[in-house]
Amino acid sequence: MKFFIHIQFISIFLLFSCGKGPTGVGSAPASSNDAKQGLISNDMKALNLKIDDRYDSVGKGFDSITGLTAERCLENDSVNFVLEPTSNVTYDENLNSEQLLSKLGIGINSNIPLEVSGIPLTLSPEVQFSKESSFSILSKTATITIEIVKGYNQLVKKDTKFEYSLKDVHYKNLKENNSSFFNICGDEIVTKQNVKAQLLITAKFIYSDAKTKKDFETAMGVSIPNPFSFGNNKIKNETATVENASPSILSVGTQTESPKSGSKLNSVILFLKNTLSGLLKGAEGMSPGIKVKLNLVNKETLQNVSIAIKAIQLGGNPNKLNGIINSSCRLSEPSSCDIIFKNIQKYAANDFPDQLNETIDSNDVNSNKKFYYGEYQTSLYSNIVILGPNKKNISNDILKYSDGSLNFTNFKLKVRQDIRTSFQNYLRGKDIQNSKTFNILANDEQALVKSTIELSENNLYGLFRFIANCYNNINVCQNDYELNKKMFYKDYDKNFDDIRAWNLLASVQANWQPIRYVLGVFNSDRITEDFFMTSNFKGYNSFFIKYLDKNRNKVLSEKYGGISLASSYRCHDWLSDALGKVWLHEVTPNIVIPISDAITNVCGSKATFACTHNSDLEKIGPFYLEIWAQ
């Protein structure tokens, strides 16, 4: 039975043939791509080519239900590159994982020059970046996006004396009202695709606890001022005034006419650099706006707020990114934060744009491998003239199978979200399973990773089998989706999102004990032996603490009725545990904490131990305490 399902799954994916492969853009070695592709199943390789919109897609069909590309079904089609350089800078607050992925794209695509800071090598760095850089209950984020578009590919007729036509097999399917036409060719076609490069930098403000978050936001306001000093300004171009509907969008350097000297692209890049440099004059480091607000926050609160920097670059020569933008600081150390933001500003305003300067004929997209194929536009087949064998326009035959109703639009959004969620979970599960530390994760974490990979494949199989019948009866398909979905699609365990296969730095046995007194004076609240040197954090940027029970399963608060799992950590003191300097205070396990100089150096050459006044820990009995870092 399992073998039958596997064959059926492949056949469903093969309904969406890949068409021609990517050409002309990107510079990553093929061996890297081969190594990554070898870690996933053939089914997922087929899906990857469909879900990733950063392959050469102009002329491909597009299935508006799944949001995936389909087969190239037209004849007399070709692609023309149009040089139309533009650049944009956008600033966003509190993006979730899906919103970040909508900027980046999703998939395993090593044709793209790509680097990501602060994140280990993964199958899909975009998925990992979107997870690590999204906001959470105890964090807020500020994200700057710099995009440089070189131009775009557009669909054109190969021979202008003739119209487009359908390949014979697809015309036959269409005339027979066979839903396989839409499953193979889609109901739309990709007509335009940008050729671009972009840089995303996220500053993640992380609170140590809920009280810190409340105190910080009370002083700062709900919205954190832009810390980057650029990204929310209106500017003027030499040839046009840019007026934006939203103050958070900065459109710069649009050129549609040949500049007086240099290429169009270089002119746009120079304008971008000059604009950003002008905005940064006198504002190096954290922005003046956020510095003013930070003066309103008390010192104790600032000590419990960290900034972690994450960045990802697609296009250009991104190999220097990790060495420049990969750091963290505490807001109680403003000079350290200023240094980090100065490096960000230099890289964003100078280094990144310089990587994209044109050195040869910019009218040929194949002449510059620093860009990648970005987002694309689609059109209904019915919006273009397509001739049948009798030389009559058959566009209306395709139109009658299209549905633009609100119900159908909402149905498509739900289907696409379910497909993307399942594919993301599959990629992340395979990432964790193939990591060096998978076998030392908690036993129930290992089991959950394996079951999530299997569930992702089963959910995708059910989705595509259901969707394959949608064009037979669109109304029944959309109206019964949520009901039918329960029969073939199961929800994912939310605990999967908190599994991190980082590096295990320390593990020690712990056991709650009552607070000890000597002659009525507090003497010790120790629950472990000395076990960790903070200097071991050097070379890492983030860490978290994990508890395991006696069966080496992960300890979670909800397993014990919602108890507090917080514990504290002190530096060793030879005279008394009570005199040991506090290293970490009331830290909850599984919360990611940025590593700063203060965290690394606070104990000097002294080892640390865990301690607590939290009597809730007595309920979990003896346990293992681990420190993980990346």
| Annotated domain spans of the chain | 42-239+261-355, 403-497, 502-629
Range with the lowest mean pLDDT among 20-24, 318-322, 431-435? 20-24
Task: Give pLDDT, residue 71.
Answer: 94
Listed residue (491, 475, 490, 468) closest to 66, CA to CA: 468
Counting other chains too, the contacts that 3-12 makes at CB distance below 8 Å and 24 or more residues apart are: 5/461, 6/43, 8/461, 8/465, 9/43, 9/457, 9/460, 9/461, 9/464, 10/42, 10/43, 10/46, 12/461, 12/464, 12/465, 12/468
Task: Give pLDDT, residue 188.
Answer: 93
Residue 281's pLDDT band (cuts 50, 70, 90): confident
Task: Give pLDDT, residue 25.
Answer: 61
Task: Give pLDDT, residue 18.
Answer: 38
Other CB atoms within a 10 A radius of the CB of residue 601 amount to 12
User: Does 499 score more than 90 pLDDT?
Assistant: yes
Residue 12's pLDDT band (cuts 50, 70, 90): very low
Task: Give pLDDT, residue 15.
Answer: 42
- HSE, CB side, 13 Å, CA atoms: give it for residue 546: 24
Task: Give pLDDT, residue 357.
Answer: 86
Report the share of the chain in percent with pLDDT over 70.
85
User: Does 87 score more than 80 pLDDT?
Assistant: yes
First-to-last C-alpha distance (Å) of the chain: 42
Q: How far apart are CA 279 and CA 399, in angstroms?
A: 50
Per residue in 199-242, pLDDT (tens digit) is: 999 999 998 888 889 999 999 887 888 999 876 553 333 333 33
Mean pLDDT of 381-402: 83
> Hey, which residues does 533 pair with through a beta bridge?
607
Listed residue (192, 193, 182) closest to 399, CA to CA: 182
Residue 38's pLDDT band (cuts 50, 70, 90): low
Per residue in 268-279, pLDDT (tens digit) is: 999 999 888 888
- HSE, CB side, 13 Å, CA atoms: give it for residue 273: 16
Residue 175's pLDDT band (cuts 50, 70, 90): confident
Mean pLDDT of 551-557: 97
Residue whose token pair is 């900065």: 250
Task: Give pLDDT, residue 258.
Answer: 39
Q: Which CATH class is domain 502-629?
A: mainly beta
Per residue in 576-593, pLDDT (tens digit) is: 999 999 999 889 999 888
User: Does 540 score more than 60 pLDDT?
Assistant: yes
User: Does 30 score more than 60 pLDDT?
Assistant: no
Residues in the chain: 630
Task: Give pLDDT, residue 156.
Answer: 96
- The dihedral of CA 76, 78, 80, 86: what is its sign? positive
535 vs 8, residue with greater confidence? 535
Q: How far apart are CA 577 and CA 490, in angstroms?
A: 50
Which DSSP state fits 195? E
Report the share of the chain in percent with pLDDT over 90.
51
pTM of the complete model beyond 0.85: no
